[in-house]
Amino acid sequence: MARYLLQSAQHFSISSQHFTSLYLLSHGVIKILLVAGLLREKLWFYPLAIAVFLFFILYQLFRFSVTHSPWLLAITLLDIIVIWLTWHEYRYLRRHRSAALF
């Protein structure tokens, strides 16, 4: 898989390589910060994470309309799964915490 990714990236122009590396790096850093908040189970991080992931999806779909890169669709699919998991856990935590108050 890594060899395939490396070979795919070698066909990118230099500007595309720079954009892709900056985008993936920022995408990763932002997700790490959000996951750190989610691991601490801070309820306000859940809607924030969902909003950020939705922003990434919108941007990725825009870039897909320009580049038609299947990798953007793969990342978008992954983000959709993460949003679903985040929403599911958020609902669970809210129910669990409100039940603990009574």
- Give tens-digit pLDDT for 2-13: 676 666 667 677
pLDDT tens across 28-58, in order?
899 899 889 888 988 999 999 999 999 999 9
Tokens of 42: 């801070």
61: containing domain = 28-101
pTM for the model stands at: 0.74
- Give the Cα separation of 63 and 49 in Å (integer): 21
Residue type, 83: I
66 inside domain: yes
11 inside domain: no
18 inside domain: no
Residues 6+ apart with CB under 8 A from 3: none
Q: What is the CA radius of gyration of the chain?
A: 17
Number of domains in the chain: 1
CA-based end-to-end distance of the chain: 51
